[in-house]
């Protein structure tokens, strides 16, 4: 399963983009919410706290008979880097866009 956490749901992807990620099976679109926004004055520890919550939510996502194979995650750069580093350390592929590996 591919988790798409971005402001571009897979329903708006081209046929080519959908084709490029079909190896991951089902796509679960998770709307980019206000919970993912980082205030301009946020400290490193506040950003890490937001990122940890997002990471826990991703890891805690459970769909019967589905395994998270890859994640597309977009957001503020420090937040995104933190989430990506944790996901890749867990062995989850992270895609920057359909078919683009980080």
pLDDT at 64: 82
Res 9 pLDDT > 90 = no
The domain total for the chain is 1
Angle subtended at Cα 35 by Cα 6 and Cα 29, rounded to the nearest 5 degrees:
30
**DSSP bridge pairs for 73:** 5
pLDDT in tens, 42-80: 999 999 999 999 899 888 887 888 899 999 988 888 899
Closest alpha carbon to 54 in 89, 29, 88, 79: 79
Residue span of the structural domain in which 7 resides: 2-101
Rounded Cα distance, 83 and 59, in Å? 11
Model confidence, pTM: 0.82
- pLDDT score of 34: 67
DSSP string across 69-86: -EEEE---HHHHHHHHHH
**Average pLDDT of the residues in 21-47:** 87
């Amino acid at each position: 399963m591919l988790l798409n956490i971005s402001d571009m749901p897979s329903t708006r992807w081209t046929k080519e983009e959908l084709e490029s990620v079909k190896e991951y099976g089902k796509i679960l679109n998770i709307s980019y919410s206000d919970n993912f926004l980082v205030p301009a004055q946020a400290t490193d520890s506040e950003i890490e706290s937001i990122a940890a919550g997002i990471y826990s939510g991703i890891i805690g996502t459970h769909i019967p008979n589905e395994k998270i194979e890859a994640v597309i995650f977009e957001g503020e750069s420090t937040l995104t880097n933190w989430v990506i580093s944790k996901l890749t350390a867990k062995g989850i592929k992270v895609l920057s866009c359909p078919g683009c590996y980080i």
